[in-house]
């Protein structure tokens, strides 16, 4: 791992915009949205652990921002716990977890295999569950913590990438339900759903999307949205970030259970 840059201890206030010396762990931090988030947070004075499976790219980002690099396979619970432990060892605390790692679906309904289906879910859903679970002991001990789970517009609407969309929909349920049970511990959990973003994953389709009139956001815009979510004191919220738009809240339906009362 690379050596982190030291910084002051945080003041006991809520909202990232009113605190100094925060520590954040960013998964998938070696490229795309994750590297943009790591850079943005570092510029705001946050001490950042860049966690990624790609050691070359992840370490390069960490070195650039004066942060810590940890090699992380999000599909392994033990790797997630190790990433948190190394962050605590380096910085003494953890305040923010940005669970961003994700991959496009590796199969669909027409070419389905159980192995490729599980590979998609292991990163896109299990990785967020393991990252959240690994951060909870520290957050509970501190009495505070903020988690941003990066979902997708495909988590709010249908997509031809069926299992990617299924995983991203599941993340919305994870966030809303986890926020409900973790509020008493002072832990905030929110979801951010980016639209089309200019990342390597999108590169093969970029030209056709632009020709079709789609607007593609730079990764920096999504990083700004992450900071916006962290600055908000609410929990269990679902935010959308798209090119040309300010981050906005989506109000999921609230369905009351049927009762015997008239």
Q: How confident is the model at residue 204 (pLDDT cuts 50, 70, 90)?
A: confident
pLDDT in tens, 24-82: 999 999 999 999 999 999 999 999 999 999 999 999 999 999 999 999 999 999 999 99
In the predicted model, what is the mean pLDDT of residues 72-96?
98
Residue 178 sits in a domain whose CATH number is: 3.40.50.720
The pTM of this model reads: 0.91
Which range is least confidently modeled, 6-15, 129-138, 163-172?
6-15
Strand-pairing partners, residue 249, are: 239
β-pairing, 248-250 vs 238-241, is antiparallel
Tell me the three state secondary structure of residue 182: helix
Alpha helices in 122-248 (DSSP H): 127-142, 162-182, 206-211, 219-231
Q: How confident is the model at residue 108 (pLDDT cuts 50, 70, 90)?
A: very high
Domain-located, residue 98: yes
Extract the runs of DSSP E, i.e. beta strands, from 10-67.
Answer: 23-27, 47-52
**What is the span of the domain harbouring residue 228?**
19-249
Q: How confident is the model at residue 18 (pLDDT cuts 50, 70, 90)?
A: low
**pLDDT (0 to 100) of residue 261:** 78
Count CB atoms within 10 A of the CB of residue 121.
Answer: 19
Domain-located, residue 102: yes
Domain-located, residue 112: yes
Domain count, the chain: 1
Q: Is the pLDDT of residue 19 over 80?
A: no
Of residues 18 and 227, which shows the higher confidence score?
A: 227
**pLDDT (0 to 100) of residue 13:** 31
Domain-located, residue 257: no
Domain-located, residue 165: yes
User: Positive or negative CA dihedral for 108, 110, 111, 114?
Assistant: positive
Domain-located, residue 10: no
Q: Residue 167's closest CA among 117, 216, 203?
A: 117
Q: What's the mean pLDDT when you consider all of the chain?
A: 92
In the predicted model, what is the mean pLDDT of residues 212-233?
95
Strand-pairing partners, residue 68, are: 49
Tell me the three state secondary structure of residue 203: helix
Give the DSSP H/E element, type plus range, for residue 65. helix 55-65
Q: Active site includes 130?
A: no
Instruction: Please pick, among 91, 117, 130, 164, the residue that the annotation labels catalytic.
Output: 164
Strand-pairing partners, residue 71, are: 52
In the predicted model, what is the mean pLDDT of residues 203-228?
90
Give the DSSP H/E element, type plus range, for residue 189. strand 187-194
**pLDDT (0 to 100) of residue 198:** 87
Domain-located, residue 66: yes
Contact (Cβ atoms closer than 8 angstroms) between residue 116 and residue 65: no
**pLDDT (0 to 100) of residue 9:** 33
Contact (Cβ atoms closer than 8 angstroms) between residue 108 and residue 162: yes
Domain-located, residue 234: yes
Question: For residues 152 and 248, what is the distance between their CA atoms, to the nearest angstrom?
Answer: 13
**pLDDT (0 to 100) of residue 206:** 84
**pLDDT (0 to 100) of residue 15:** 54
Query: Cα-atom radius of gyration of the chain, to the nearest Å?
Result: 18
């Amino acid at each position: 791992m690379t050596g982190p840059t030291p910084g002051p201890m945080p003041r006991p206030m809520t909202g990232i915009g009113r605190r100094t010396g925060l520590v954040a762990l960013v998964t998938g931090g070696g490229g795309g949205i994750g590297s943009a988030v790591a850079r943005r947070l570092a510029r705001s004075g946050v001490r950042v652990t860049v966690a990624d499976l790609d050691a070359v790219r992840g370490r390069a980002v960490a070195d650039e921002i004066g942060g810590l690099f940890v090699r992380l396979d999000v599909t392994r619970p033990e790797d997630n716990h190790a990433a948190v432990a190394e962050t605590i060892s380096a910085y003494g605390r953890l305040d923010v977890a940005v669970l961003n790692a994700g991959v496009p679906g590796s199969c669909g309904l027409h070419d389905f295999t159980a192995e490729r289906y599980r590979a998609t879910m292991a990163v896109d859903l299990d990785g967020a569950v393991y990252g959240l679970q690994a951060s909870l002991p520290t957050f509970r001990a501190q009495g505070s913590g903020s988690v941003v789970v990066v979902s997708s517009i495909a988590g709010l609407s249908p997509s031809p990438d069926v299992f990617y969309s299924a995983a991203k929909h599941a993340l919305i349920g994870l966030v809303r339900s986890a926020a409900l049970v973790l509020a008493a511990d002072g832990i905030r959990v929110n979801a951010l759903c980016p639209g089309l973003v200019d990342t390597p994953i999108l590169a093969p389709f970029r030209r056709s999307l632009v020709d079709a009139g789609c607007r593609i956001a730079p990764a920096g815009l999504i990083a700004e949205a992450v900071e916006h979510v962290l600055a908000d004191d609410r929990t269990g919220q679902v935010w959308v970030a798209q090119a040309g738009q300010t981050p906005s809240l989506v109000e999921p339906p609230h369905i009351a259970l049927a009762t015997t009362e008239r």
